Structure 1
Amino acid sequence: MIHPRVLVPVVCLALLIGGAWAAVVLQQSQWATRAAADGECAPGYQSVDDALREVRAEMRTESESEREAERAEEAGEESGEGSGEEHGEEGQSELVREAQRELPMLAGTDPDTWDTLCVIAKRPESLTELNKMADTRGMPRLAPLGAYDSRAGMAAVRQAAAIDTKIPAAVGRASLYGKGPLVVDDPDYPQVNGLGLGDNMGRIDSFDWDPRAKRLFAAVGNGGIWRSDDLGDTWVNANGNLPTTVTGAVAWTRAKGGHLLALTGEPTFGSSAYTGLGAYWSGDLGKHWRRSKGLPSGALGFALAVDPKHRQTVYAATQFGLFRSDNAGRSYTNVKLPTGPCAGVTSMKKHPECALANVVTDVNVVYGGGVNTDTKAHTVVAAVGWRGGQRKNADGREQSPNNGIYRSANGRPGTFDKLDVTGFASQDAIGRVELGQAKGGQQDHDYLYAMVQDANLLNDGGVSGIDVPGGASSPLGTTVFNGLYVSDDFGLTWTQMTSGTELANDPSSGSSLYGTGTAIGYQPGVQAWYNEWVQPDPTRATADGVPTRLAFGLEEIWTNDLPQSGAPMNGPSHFVVAAKYFGGDSCLLLNLGLPACPGDRDPTDSNDTTHPDQQDGLWFPDKNVPGGVQLVVGNDGGAYRYDFADDSDGELDNAHWGRGNQAGFSTLMPYRATMAKDGTVFAGLQDNGNLKIDGTTRKQYETYGGDGFYAAVDPDDSDITYEEYTNAAISASTDGGSNWESIDPGLTASKFANPFVMDPTNAKHLLTAGREVVETLLGPSTQSGMTDADSADGSTSTWLKVFDLGTKEHPGDASASSSSTDPDNSMSAVDTRGDASYVAFCGQCDTLNKLSTDDMVFQNGLATNVGGDEPGQAGTSDGWHVVAARGLPNRYITSVAIDPKRTNKVYVTLGGYTRRWLPAGAVGDANKAVGTGHLFKSTDGGKTFRNISGNLPDSPATWVTVRKGQLLVGTDVGAFATGMRGTKQAKPAFARMPGLPKAPIGSIQLKPGNPNVAVFAMFGRDVWTYRFKQKISADSVPGTGSGAGSGPSTELGAVAKAWDFEGDEQGWTASGTPAWTYESPGRGTGAADDASGSGWDVSGPLGYVDNVDTTLVSPAVAMSAGDSVLQWWMKLDTEAGFDKVSAEVSTDGGSSWQTLGSYSGQSEADADGTPGWEKYAVPFKAGSMPVQVRFAFTSDSLCSNLGGPLCSSTTGWDGVHLDDVAVGAAR
Structure 2
Amino acid sequence: MNLTLVRRYRGLGITAAVALFASVALTAFSTPQPVQKASLATNTPTGPMELPDEWMTAQRMSDGSTELSTAKYTKARGEAKQIAARTLKAYRPLAEQKWDFFGPSNIGGRVVDIAVDPQVPDQVFIAAASGGIWKSRDAGATFEAAWPDDGTQSMGAVAMTSKGVLFAGTGEPQPGGGSITFGGDGIYRSKDRGKTWQHVGLRDSHAIARFAIDPSNEDRIFAAASGNLFMPGRERGVYLSEDGGDSWQLVLAPPNPTTGATEVVIDPTNPRRMYAAMWDHLREPHQRTYGGPGSSLWRSDDGGATWQRMTKGLPTDADQGRWGIALAPNNPQRLYAYVGTALGPFRAFYRSDNGGDTWTQTPVTAGQASQSTFSWWFGKLYVDPTNADHVFLTGVNLRRSTDGAQSFSSVGGVHADQHAMRWDPKVPGRVYLGNDGGFYRSEANGASGWVKSTYEPYTQFYTVDVAETDPVLKVGGAQDNGCNRGYTGVGGDWDEIGCGDGLQVIIHPEQPNIVFGCSQYGSCYRSENSGAAPRQTIGSGQTTSQRRNWQTPLQFDPSDPNVMYYAGNIVNRSTDNGRTWTPISPDLTGGGPNDPSGYPWGTITTIAAAPTDGNKLYVGTDDGRLWWTDDLGGTWNRVDPAQVPGTWVTRVAVHPTDKNIAYATFSGFRSGSDRAHVMITRDGGRTWSDIGQGLPDAPVNSVVPTADGLLLVGTDVGAFMSAWNGGEWAALGTNLPQAAIMYLRYHEQSRQLTTATFGRGVYDLTVPKCPAASTKLPLKDTGKGAVGVLASCHATA
Q: TM-score per shorter chain, which class? A: 0.7 to 0.9
Spell out, residue by residue over 1:994-1052, the C-alpha distance to the aligned partner (whole angstroms, 9 max, x if none): 221211111111125212x1111111222211123x347xxxxxxxxxxxxxxxxxxxx
**2:725 matched to 1:972?**
no
Q: Which has the higher helix share?
A: 1
> Residue 407 and residue 1021 in structure 1: after superposition, are their counterparts in 2 closer, same or farther (change >3 A)?
same
Spell out, residue by residue over 1:503-545, the C-alpha distance to the aligned partner (whole angstroms, 9 max, x if none): 47xxxxxxxxxxxxxxxxxx566543322432222234xxxxx
Q: Secondary structure at the match of 2:608?
A: strand
Look up the match of 1:62: none
Spell out, residue by residue over 1:266-318, the C-alpha distance to the aligned partner (whole angstroms, 9 max, x if none): 42456642333333233333333333333305x34322222222222322223
Shift of residue 202, structure 1, vs aligned partner = 0.8
Look up the match of 2:525: 731
Look up the match of 1:689: 482
> Residue 82 and residue 762 in structure 1: after superposition, are their counterparts in 2 closer, same or farther (change >3 A)?
closer
2: CA distance, partners of 1:528 / 1:820: 22
Q: Secondary structure at the match of 2:332?
A: coil
Spell out, residue by residue over 1:1121-1153, the C-alpha distance to the aligned partner (whole angstroms, 9 max, x if none): xxxxxxxxxxxxx777xxxxxxxxxxxxxxxxx
Spell out, residue by residue over 1:370-399, the C-alpha distance to the aligned partner (whole angstroms, 9 max, x if none): xxxxx4x3433211123799x9x999x996
Amino acid corresponding to residue 424 of structure 1 in structure 2: L
Look up the match of 1:153: 73
Q: Secondary structure at the match of 2:585?
A: strand
Shift of residue 757, structure 1, vs aligned partner = 2.0
Contact 1:172-1:994 within 8 A present in 2 as well: yes
1:333 pairs with one of 249, 257, 281: 249
Shift of residue 694, structure 1, vs aligned partner = 0.8
> Residue 204 and residue 132 in structure 1: after superposition, are their counterparts in 2 closer, same or farther (change >3 A)?
closer
2:536 pairs with one of 716, 737, 741: 741
Amino acid corresponding to residue 405 of structure 1 in structure 2: L
2:12 pairs with one of 80, 84, 94: 84
**2:170 matched to 1:263?**
yes
Aligned pairs for 1:266-277 (under 5 A) are 266-269=173-176, 272-277=180-185
2: CA distance, partners of 1:398 / 1:705: 28
Amino acid corresponding to residue 434 of structure 1 in structure 2: G
1:672 pairs with one of 463, 468, 473: 463
Shift of residue 254, structure 1, vs aligned partner = 5.0
Contact 2:133-2:147 within 8 A present in 1 as well: yes
Q: Secondary structure at the match of 1:699?
A: coil
Aligned pairs for 1:568-717 (under 5 A) are 569=404, 573-577=406-410, 579-580=411-412, 609-623=413-427, 628-644=428-444, 652-654=446-448, 656-658=449-451, 660=452, 662-676=453-467, 677-678=469-470, 679-696=472-489, 698-717=492-511
Amino acid corresponding to residue 165 of structure 1 in structure 2: R
2: CA distance, partners of 1:1161 / 1:877: 29
Look up the match of 2:263: 362
Spell out, residue by residue over 1:128-172, the C-alpha distance to the aligned partner (whole angstroms, 9 max, x if none): 665452111111111132523622122222222333122224542
2:570 pairs with one of 772, 777, 787: 772
Amino acid corresponding to residue 110 of structure 2 in structure 1: R
2: CA distance, partners of 1:399 / 1:434: 13
Look up the match of 2:740: 1000
> Residue 948 and residue 154 in structure 1: after superposition, are their counterparts in 2 closer, same or farther (change >3 A)?
same
2: CA distance, partners of 1:737 / 1:225: 32
> RMSD across aligned C-alpha pairs, in angstroms?
3.5
Shift of residue 689, structure 1, vs aligned partner = 1.6
**2:702 matched to 1:959?**
yes
Contact 1:765-1:777 within 8 A present in 2 as well: yes
1:500 pairs with one of 365, 372, 378: 365
Spell out, residue by residue over 1:407-455, the C-alpha distance to the aligned partner (whole angstroms, 9 max, x if none): 334556xx4434243123444443211222333xxx2434433232233
Shift of residue 557, structure 1, vs aligned partner = 2.7
1:940 pairs with one of 675, 678, 683: 683
2:322 pairs with one of 415, 424, 432: 432
2: CA distance, partners of 1:527 / 1:825: 25
Spell out, residue by residue over 1:947-977, the C-alpha distance to the aligned partner (whole angstroms, 9 max, x if none): 2223321111111112332222111122222
Contact 2:19-2:500 within 8 A present in 1 as well: no
Aligned pairs for 1:1053-1068 (under 5 A) are none
How many residues align? The count is 729
Amino acid corresponding to residue 337 of structure 1 in structure 2: A
> Residue 314 and residue 743 in structure 1: after superposition, are their counterparts in 2 closer, same or farther (change >3 A)?
same
Larger RCO (CA under 8 A, 6+ residues apart): 2
2: CA distance, partners of 1:102 / 1:230: 36
Identity of aligned residues (%): 23
Spell out, residue by residue over 1:558-610, the C-alpha distance to the aligned partner (whole angstroms, 9 max, x if none): 3333x7xxxxx4xx634433x13xxxxxxxxxxxxxxxxxxxxxxxxxxxx11
Q: Which blocks of at least 5 consecutive residues in structure 1 are unaligned?
A: 1-80, 87-94, 104-119, 183-200, 343-353, 369-374, 460-478, 505-522, 541-546, 564-568, 581-608, 645-650, 784-797, 810-816, 846-858, 866-871, 917-929, 1033-1133, 1137-1159, 1172-1210, 1212-1227
Look up the match of 2:552: 754
> Residue 498 and residue 529 in structure 1: after superposition, are their counterparts in 2 closer, same or farther (change >3 A)?
farther
Q: Secondary structure at the match of 1:157?
A: helix
1:408 pairs with one of 289, 292, 300: 300
Amino acid corresponding to residue 360 of structure 1 in structure 2: A
**2:396 matched to 1:488?**
no
Look up the match of 2:789: none
Contact 1:139-1:146 within 8 A present in 2 as well: no
1:451 pairs with one of 332, 338, 342: 338
1: CA distance, partners of 2:162 / 2:784: 63
2: CA distance, partners of 1:497 / 1:630: 28
2: CA distance, partners of 1:550 / 1:1163: 67
1:531 pairs with one of 374, 378, 381: 378
Spell out, residue by residue over 1:228-270, the C-alpha distance to the aligned partner (whole angstroms, 9 max, x if none): 1222222111122452222121112356x72332322342456
> Residue 621 and residue 947 in structure 1: after superposition, are their counterparts in 2 closer, same or farther (change >3 A)?
same
Q: Secondary structure at the match of 1:156?
A: helix
Amino acid corresponding to residue 607 of structure 2 in structure 1: V
Contact 1:452-1:483 within 8 A present in 2 as well: yes
1:828 pairs with one of 605, 609, 613: 605
Amino acid corresponding to residue 975 of structure 1 in structure 2: A
With the length of structure 2 as denominator, give the TM-score of the two structures: 0.83
> Residue 333 and residue 652 in structure 1: after superposition, are their counterparts in 2 closer, same or farther (change >3 A)?
closer
Shift of residue 704, structure 1, vs aligned partner = 1.0
> Residue 331 and residue 153 in structure 1: after superposition, are their counterparts in 2 closer, same or farther (change >3 A)?
farther
2: CA distance, partners of 1:1169 / 1:387: 49
Contact 1:387-1:453 within 8 A present in 2 as well: no
> Residue 953 and residue 1169 in structure 1: after superposition, are their counterparts in 2 closer, same or farther (change >3 A)?
closer
> Residue 818 and residue 227 in structure 1: after superposition, are their counterparts in 2 closer, same or farther (change >3 A)?
closer
Amino acid corresponding to residue 241 of structure 2 in structure 1: S
Amino acid corresponding to residue 279 of structure 2 in structure 1: G
Spell out, residue by residue over 1:1166-1202, the C-alpha distance to the aligned partner (whole angstroms, 9 max, x if none): 255799xxxxxxxxxxxxxxxxxxxxxxxxxxxxxxx
Look up the match of 1:287: 195
> Residue 1000 and residue 398 in structure 1: after superposition, are their counterparts in 2 closer, same or farther (change >3 A)?
closer
**2:280 matched to 1:386?**
yes
Contact 2:298-2:308 within 8 A present in 1 as well: yes
Spell out, residue by residue over 1:603-626, the C-alpha distance to the aligned partner (whole angstroms, 9 max, x if none): xxxxxx111221111112234xxx
Q: Which blocks of at least 5 consecutive residues in structure 2 are unaligned?
A: 1-8, 21-34, 228-235, 786-791, 793-797
1: CA distance, partners of 2:291 / 2:419: 25
